Amino acid sequence: MIYPRSDLFDLCKVRDTAFWPMHRQELSRTAGGRTQAKDLGSALWRVSVTTSPAPLADAADIEAALISLNGSVGSFLAHDVRRPFPRAHAAGDFDDVATITALDVNDSAFGVRLAGMPEGFTLSVGDYLGFEYGPNQTRALHMVTVGGLFDPAGNLDVEVFPAIRPGAQIGAAVTFKRPSCEMILEPGQQAPVITEFVASSVTFSAIQII
């Protein structure tokens, strides 16, 4: 088996899902009673999924795929199935040709400049973008928090969450179509629920690895 698996979400129909950042923070209080928050590291994406009930024969595909991950040992690629494409281009009828041309835009680790898309191509708040970084080509997944339109020169400055991690490079190819990150299952997954012995549904949750 080769990890990460890239077919997990192709094997099932998602009924319920949540895709949300898991912050790594701690709170402390000063002698004066002031509460302070401190980041211990960049936030990681977490997903929870419940599949639609499927005939037992069809459900075997996703069940076997989850079992093949060997608990939390194997990894898979995950994306927010609610937003596979930018909101303004929901049909996905565009080419992924953008690249990163500047980092730390406006002196912010959340700011990045993109180039290469046609004039007017729009990134809206809540859209996702992805790219690979670092010596191991780790998959970065970011949500757009300040978007806009690519200008006539094909450039756009955006703000994203979480902050761009060290290792990102100028020239990295950017993905807007089903951008994904690598995840592993959280421990303690439950067995599928069988309905009247004709249909099966499974619930699982996973956390991003970097």
143-163: pLDDT as tens digits: 999 999 999 999 999 999 999
Which residue has 């069809």 as its token pair? Answer: 58
Q: Which domains does the chain have, with CATH numbers?
A: 1-79+180-210 (3.30.200), 84-178 (2.40.10)
Read off the tokens for 181: 């990150």
CA-nearest of 81, 95, 82 to 150 is: 95
Nearest one of 148, 99, 90, 79 to 120, comparing CA atoms: 148
Q: What amino acid occupies position 173?
A: A
Q: What per-residue confidence (pLDDT) applies to 33?
A: 77
- The one-letter amino acid code at 126 reads G
What percent of the chain has pLDDT above 70? 100
Taking only the tens place, the pLDDT of each residue in 49-90 is 999 999 998 899 999 999 999 999 999 999 999 999 999 999
Give the global pTM: 0.92
Strand order in the sheet with 199-201: 54-55, 199-201, 193-195
